[in-house]
Every structure is written in structure tokens, then in C-alpha cells.
């Protein structure tokens, strides 16, 4: 059985694993360092619990990420019924639909993650690129970048 927990651990500064940051009031004159980490614990058949640290670097928190190279090319359209006439009309919500054009994700067997997307050719001009990231807890976020392709910078 596997259990995943989020914890805050303190390590001696001269230990093998030295995360960044310092614990301000190090006891007994030792220098200690603090780290937030995800620890996975395995319960073996003989009831022994073995911890395994899953996060050591910021990229370990990312489970999946994807890119839409032309975010503003597909408007989000909804159908609205007019209450007086009963007629259905289409309206733009003011938002756009994220179209996944490239992605990288982890699997149980392959924990690696590509940190650089493939090259993608686009026509010259201004455009918006959206990047969506999902962390190991399932939380997702998206950021939109305005870029100029081709021409002078």
C-alpha cells in the first residue's frame, strides 16, 4: 500500500541531501536546513514502513504541462435562449478555448518530464501562447504569454 504525504523536514547542513533555505533557530549550534517535500511511504508485507522522497527539485512538483501555440484562434461560444422569444442564439463568452498542441507528462513507469517543448512554426505577427501546468496533487494553472513571431524585436 502506498501513501503520499506532504511534510516539512529539517536536515543537517552537512548531510547528503542539502535543500535550500535555513531553519532560523538551529538548536545546539548546528546549522539546519528546511525543505517542503512529498514523501511516499510503502507498507511492506512484514509491516515495515519505508519512506521514499519524491520531490527534491521544483520540477518534481510538475506532473503534466502543455502548450497552445495560438491561444486566441478559437473563441468560446455558448448558446443562449432568449427568454421572451425562445430563440436560441450564440454568444461569445469573452474567453478562448485551450487547444493542447504539445504536452509532456509523467507516468508511473517513466517519471521523466521534458522541460522544453518542440519547435513550432507560426506565421509572423503578434500572438498569445498559453501554457497549462498540472502539479502532482492535480491542481492546474494556466498562464498566457504575448509574443511576436518573426520580424524585428
pLDDT digits (tens, 9 = 90+) for 99-150: 999 999 988 888 888 989 988 888 888 999 999 999 888 899 999 999 998 8
Is there a single domain that holds both residue 115 and residue 142? yes
Domain finish residue from 23, 39, 56: 56
Residues 47 and 74 in one domain: no
Structural domain of 49: 2-56
Higher-confidence position of 149 and 43: 149
Domain identity same for 67 and 126: yes
Phi/psi at 22 (5° precision):
-120, 145
| Mean pLDDT, all residues of the chain | 76
- Asked if the model's pLDDT at residue 153 lies above 70, the reply is no
In this structure, are 13 and 68 located in the same domain? no
Cell of 105: 507528462
Same domain? For 72 and 112 the reply is yes
Pair (44, 80) in one structural domain: no
The CA-to-CA distance between both ends of the chain, in Å, stands at 55
Distances (CA, A) of 114 to 33, 44, 60, 98, 125: 29, 32, 12, 20, 27
Contact 40, 50 (CB under 8 A): no
Number of domains in the chain: 2
What is the C-alpha separation between 70 and 99, in angstroms, rounded? 8
Amino acid at each position: 500500500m502506498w501513501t503520499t504525504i506532504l511534510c516539512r523536514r529539517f536536515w543537517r547542513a552537512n548531510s547528503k541531501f542539502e535543500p535550500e533555505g535555513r531553519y532560523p533557530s538551529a538548536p545546539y549550534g548546528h546549522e539546519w536546513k528546511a525543505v517542503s517535500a512529498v514523501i511516499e511511504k510503502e507498507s511492506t508485507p512484514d509491516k515495515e514502513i519505508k519512506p521514499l522522497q519524491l520531490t527534491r527539485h521544483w520540477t518534481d512538483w510538475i506532473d503534466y504541462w502543455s502548450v497552445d501555440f495560438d491561444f486566441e484562434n478559437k473563441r468560446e461560444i455558448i448558446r443562449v435562449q432568449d427568454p421572451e422569444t425562445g430563440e436560441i442564439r450564440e454568444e461569445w463568452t469573452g474567453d478562448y478555448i485551450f487547444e493542447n498542441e504539445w504536452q509532456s507528462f509523467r507516468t508511473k513507469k517513466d517519471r521523466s518530464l521534458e522541460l522544453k517543448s518542440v519547435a513550432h512554426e507560426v506565421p509572423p505577427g503578434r500572438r498569445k501562447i498559453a501554457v497549462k501546468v498540472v502539479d502532482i496533487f492535480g491542481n492546474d494553472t494556466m498562464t498566457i504569454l504575448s509574443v511576436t513571431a518573426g520580424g524585428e524585436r
